[in-house]
Structure 1
Amino acid sequence: MDAKGIIRSLPWWVKWVAIPLIAVVVFGGLILSVVGFLVGLLFKLLIFAALVGGLIYVVRHFTSASSSSRRDDW
């Protein structure tokens, strides 16, 4: 009997409750660390994008103010 046959012969509650519960217990720490890493990375990417956007806004604001008073470029 192959693995598909063994899994097919199990009751539904073993397939859909017991096996996922065992997987969460065994790999729970790994899953939490991966999810935590991804959330932290997403947060850092959002902070980076906000800081770069703010820098671009400030630079454009001051260069447009200075270029309107004098018309020569660098």
Structure 2
Amino acid sequence: MREIFNGMPWWVKWIAVPVIALVVFGTVIVSVLTVVISLLFKALVFVALVGGLIYLVRKFTSSSSSRGGW
């Protein structure tokens, strides 16, 4: 690989090749980031819903035990 880039100017190695790679693989990178962010958001919503459910169950069970029922 070094032999290929030895005769090239510096801007080919450091500017042109990364830009071409981003153009070619940009959609793949964006789709992977979209999936990861979507999964993180869904996990956050899941944790919030389970936490709310646990809070409600503890609130109603503690108050119902003192009153003797719902």
Q: How many residues align?
A: 67
Equivalent residue number for residue 28 of structure 1: 26
Unaligned runs of 5+ in 1: none
The two structures, once aligned, show a CA RMSD in angstroms of 1.5
TM-score of the pair, normalised by structure 1? 0.77
TM-score (norm 2): 0.81
Question: 1:1-74 to 2 correspondence within 5 Å?
Answer: 3-7=1-5, 9=6, 10-70=8-68
Moved over 4 A (4+): none
- Identity value in percent: 60
Structure 2 residue runs of 5 or longer lacking an equivalent are none
